[in-house]
Structure 1
Amino acid sequence: MTERNNLYPIFLKTSNLHILIVGGGNVAEEKLTFLTKSSPDANVVMVSPKFGKDTLELAGKHKVQLISDVYHKKYLKGMHMVIATTDVPSVNIQVYEDCRVMDKLVNVADNPPYCDFYMGGIVTKGNVKVAISTNGKSPTTAKRLRQFFEEVIPEDIDQMVLNLNSYRKTIKGNFSQKVEKMNEVTQMLLTTKAKMGNE
């Protein structure tokens, strides 16, 4: 029997949240890169005794607050999400346990049993954003799927979104009537695209 992916995807306004990354090495840089690529205005604090050169450069571009110190649970205060990336497993587990006590969402890098959330593959085309999850099983598969969707989703899809949004505002009627009308319009788009593909 195939295992189900029971994760619930959400899209977070990271500029409204406080995010802590514990660590300053290569994995911390990878997580910060992933986060700021999708959300350049993310509100991030990093704590580590030392930071890699590339991490410092990336943090400077995105106004990330850097704290040069070893991890202590006091740094969890006021945080909504925490990502533990140190190369010391006992420290990462301590971060997880402290987050459990303080009701913080936590991700311990490369350790699925100690994660409340995963940072999956993301494709962004203007206002359109697609998130990809492999249930923490295969980041490589998520990466390949991301590359695939980046190629097949047209660059001008954002214009379609903006046009449909403008059109939606002109529709009269209750919610179900508006949904029905929008379904008609988008179905016509699919039919037109199918006809063009057959020509």
Structure 2
Amino acid sequence: MKKNFLPISINIEGQKILIVGGGESAFKKLKILQRFGAEVEVLAIDVSDEIKQSGIKYFETAYQKKYLTGYLMLYSCTNNYELDKQILSDGEKMGVLVNIHDKPELCQFVSPAIYKNGKMTVAVASNGEDVYESIRLRNKISEFLTDNFHKN
């Protein structure tokens, strides 16, 4: 089923966000969320050293539905399709918004490619259908704004 995502901006300052998965994709998502002031926590059987050294709270344990209590949203970076389907189902039941990394067909929301400079944020989205094109356009916008508006 084709999805039709509404691009919005949401205040995540101080909000609890869970990342399920402890590898490179989870670390990249963590860094983005921290830029927007979220209280990010990670849950995974194996948490990377980068995540451990980031100063955030992490839990080295297997995913269970009970861990979803109290989160605004979660990002699943497990690369496990069956587990991701379970996480989506659990999130819907628990009222937690769910994003499944690289699987827009399982997402309740998708994250755009983001350029942020001070109070200005530009987001480029492709309805979850062409992430690399979104990133390419974001980079072009970043270059344009840097070259034309952010000179000191």
TM norm. shorter chain > 0.5:
yes
Letter in 2 for 1:75: Y
Aligned-pair identity (%): 31
Q: Name the structure with the higher strand share.
A: 2
Letter in 1 for 2:150: E
Measured after TM superposition, the shift of residue 15 of structure 1 is: 2.0
Measured after TM superposition, the shift of residue 31 of structure 1 is: 1.6
User: Which structure has the bigger radius of gyration?
Assistant: 1
C-alpha RMSD of the superposition: 1.8
**In the alignment, which of 12, 22, 25 is matched to residue 24 of structure 1?**
22
Name structure 2 gaps, 5 residues minimum: none
Matches within 5 A, 1:22-101: 22-36=20-34, 38-39=35-36, 41-57=37-53, 59-60=54-55, 64-101=56-93
Q: How many Å separate the matches in 2 of 1:51 and 1:6?
A: 33
Matches within 5 A, 1:116-127: 116-127=108-119
Tell me which of the two structures has the higher relative contact order, counting C-alpha pairs closer than 8 angstroms and 6 or more residues apart: 2
State the Cα deviation string for residues 103-122 of structure 1 (Å, max 9, x = none).
21100111111101111111
Contact 2:20 2:42 in 1 (8 A): yes
**What SS is found at the alignment partner of 2:43?**
strand
Where has structure 1 moved over 3 Å in runs of 4 or more?
Answer: none
Contact 2:33 2:40 in 1 (8 A): no
TM-score by length of 1: 0.68
TM-score by length of 2: 0.88
- Which residue is 2:13 aligned to? 15
Q: Name the structure with the higher helix share.
A: 1
**What SS is found at the alignment partner of 1:16?**
coil
Measured after TM superposition, the shift of residue 5 of structure 1 is: 8.4
Measured after TM superposition, the shift of residue 45 of structure 1 is: 1.1
Contact 1:5 1:134 in 2 (8 A): no
